[in-house]
Chains A and B, each alone.
Chain A
Amino acid sequence: MGRIGEKFRQLREKGEKALVAYIVAGDPSLEITKEIILGFKDAGVDIIELGVPFSDPTADGPVIQVASGRALEQGTDLVSILDMVESVNKSADIPIVLFGYYNPIFAYGNKRFAQRARASGVDGILVVDLPPEESRELRKYTDQADIGFISLLAPTTSSERIRKISEEATGFLYYVSITGVTGTKKPRVSDIRDEMKRVRRITEMPVVVGFGISTPGQAGEIAPYADGIVVGSAFVHMIEEHAGDSNMVNIVSDYAKEIKTAIHKGRNL
């Protein structure tokens, strides 16, 4: 199953949990996005989730909405993102998942996208508005290209539906820890503990938890119950705040390091 599967296998062997870091591609520019990815890798980030900006990000909170707007103003598009991913893959070995909405992919062409993404070394995709009911038209091509189809689970998802989704998903599952949009509410640890028990009974696939996790403390508390933690809006917000600083990449990577350390400490709780 490629680099994603290999990553989780290694982590499980060591009894460790993944840090998945989300940033918006092209905010503030694709050159800097590349630097951040390389910085993340050195900081111990396990998987990169690269937001593909869309004009109408209905699952995202204000932080990622404005970051997507900035990226689009820079002229960021699917092709330039894939070029950047290809260039990252020449200098570093870290699994990369594209996270976005369906329309930019559909407009580019599903088949063409799958081929191009494969050639660039994309490991997986998470298309927010493509539930299993509608995913066949894209997966027809991405499955063939061996690109993981990462699926969301929500607190409201029934056990029957979790079974169906996990049977069809490839790569890993992404448990949305709050009923809400990205980077808004704070998840309750006890809820996540119970929910992850429910998910675990149904599937053995790796499950990461995200939406609303922003601090090392939260990450450390939640990590024991999952295979990994996703942090997004917190990084995106830092990038916005330090956009002009020459050491922005270091600041963001240092924060990733802190979170990774907290996850590591929390693992045996």
Chain B
Amino acid sequence: MKTQLPDREGHFGVFGGRYAAETLMPAIIELEEAYKEIKKDKTFAKEYASYLRDYSGRETPLYFAERLTEKLGGAKIYLKREDLNHTGSHKINNTLGQALLARRMGKRKIIAETGAGQHGVATATVAALFGMECKIFMGREDIERQSPNVFRMKILGAEVVPVISGTDTLKDAMNEAMRYWVSHVKDTYYVIGTTAGPHPYPVMVRNFQSVIGREVKRQILKKEGRLPDVLIACIGGGSNAMGLFYPFRNDVDVVMTGVEAGGRGIATGMHAASIAEGKVGVLHGNKTYLLQDEKGQVRDTCSIAAGLDYPGVGPEHSYLHSIGRAGYVTVDDREATDAFLFLSEYEGIIPAMESAHAVAYAMKLAPTMSREKVIVINLSGRGDKDAGIIAEKLEVK
């Protein structure tokens, strides 16, 4: 684990890399060079840190969920409150970093894909902040089920481009964003929202998000005087999980668990559990676990959480899985919905449906652990956007 990953070509073991068309390679290499520059640049680091603090409101609290802990009767549960960031999720950590980078590169136009709309909102927000033109690609189905975020993006001045192909969800939005990028590569910066895509995106997004884990480490040492026993985060592409896990990668006693979307149940085949059910494949510029049929065609996915509804997963997660450093489990739509309501009722915190997957797994795990043990859940986003889905499910009028 001490070796520096990824390697120079962006490989995490056999995963990752740069499986991109030549039409994009020069732009990807340009981005890599620019990213290398800012990584060494103290002025950039200062500027980024000041936006995280003064604009997004970091650091976010590490909150001891006392009632939740009592109710479950086992390990102590802490919530990393990424939902309290400006725009309501961890996505802003990454979009601030990438927008500052885009500005350095002299790009005035930014584009992004989005599933739940959290990354879209976070991108539209930084575009407004830095006076950039912004286009967000979003699957038609996601536009319908996450409409509050669509309005927010429009209010922020972004153009939301509906994507009608495939299953009309996140994967298709990413396909279309890549096509648009190829066509406007000279003046456009593509803000990928997760730890996927061709190198250097997975490592860059991880590094921008790892502020989460660094804060958790500091905060838990202050509150508990020791490191946590278990970290739990939901996984779509895996950016909030990678951000939490990465600073703990060498603390081998800390168990790291990613929660994939079990959709309507693994047995039904209608889910988005890439690590649990996928095989190694290549999509969107990287090699990783991928939900695909035996012919190598990408399978349709299904999850109540639009942000997890993706057939791949960040290559570093595939790597952590392959070496056994992180574990990956699944939670289905019903369990996530129950957790969504449970956290709302017992803590007064409405989690994003994505984050509710992490909460659901903690609800299973905590009662099996003793009271001295400590669990940290990454509460990656807030759930206002999901009120409609839940209301429909519960027939709340």
Q: Do A and B come from one complex?
A: yes
- A residues adjacent to B (C-beta < 8 A): 54-61, 65, 72, 77-78, 101-108, 128-131, 133-134, 151-154, 156-158, 161, 165, 176, 179-181, 184-185
Chain B 281-306 interface 0/1 with A at a Cβ cutoff of 8 Å (1 = within): 11111000010101111100000000
Q: Cα distance A130–B26 when bound, in Å?
A: 14
Chain A residues near B290 (CB, 8 Å)? 103
Do residues B26 and A154 form an inter-chain contact, with CB atoms below 8 A?
yes
Known contacts A133-B17, A181-B182; A56/B23 CB under 8 A: no
A-B contact pairs, 24 of them (CB 8 A): A55-B166, A55-B297, A56-B166, A56-B171, A56-B283, A56-B298, A58-B182, A59-B179, A61-B179, A102-B282, A103-B296, A107-B279, A131-B20, A153-B22, A154-B21, A156-B27, A157-B22, A157-B25, A157-B26, A161-B25, A165-B22, A176-B23, A179-B23, A184-B183
**B285: chain A residues within 8 A (beta carbon):** 129
User: Do A129 and B282 have beta carbons less than 8 Å apart?
Assistant: yes
Question: Chain A's nearest CB lies how many Å from the CB of B385?
Answer: 26
Task: Verify A105–B296 contact, CB threshold 8 A.
Answer: yes
Interface membership of B186, Cβ < 8 A: yes
Q: Is the CB of A154 within 8 A of B292?
A: no
Within 162-185 of B, Cβ neighbours of A (below 8 Å) are at 165-166, 171, 175, 178-179, 182-185
Q: How far is the CA of A85 from the CA of B88 in the complex (A)?
A: 54
In the bound assembly, the distance between CA atoms of A130 and B25 in angstroms comes to 10
**What are the nearest 4 A-B pairs in CB distance?**
A107-B296, A104-B296, A152-B22, A180-B183
Q: Within the assembled complex, what's the spacing in Å between the Cα atoms of A153 and B21?
A: 9
* B-to-A contact residues, CB < 8 Å: 9, 17-23, 25-27, 165-166, 171, 175, 178-179, 182-186, 279, 281-285, 290, 292, 294-298
- In whole angstroms, how far apart are the Cα atoms of A65 and B163 in the complex? 13
Q: Which chain B residue has the least Cβ–Cβ distance from A165?
A: B22
Which single member of B18, B23, B297 contacts A54 (CB below 8 Å)? B297
Is the CB–CB distance between A133 and B9 below 8 Å? yes
Docked complex Cα distance between A161 and B24 (Å): 13
Report Cα–Cα, A93/B145, bound state, in Å: 54
Question: Distance (Å) between the CB of B191 and the closest chain A CB?
Answer: 17
- A133, B185: Cβ atoms under 8 Å? no
* Given A58-B178, A152-B23, A131-B18 contact (CB < 8 Å): yes
Distance between Cα atoms of A161 and B25 in the complex (Å)? 10
In the docked arrangement, what's the CA distance between A185 and B297, Å?
A: 28
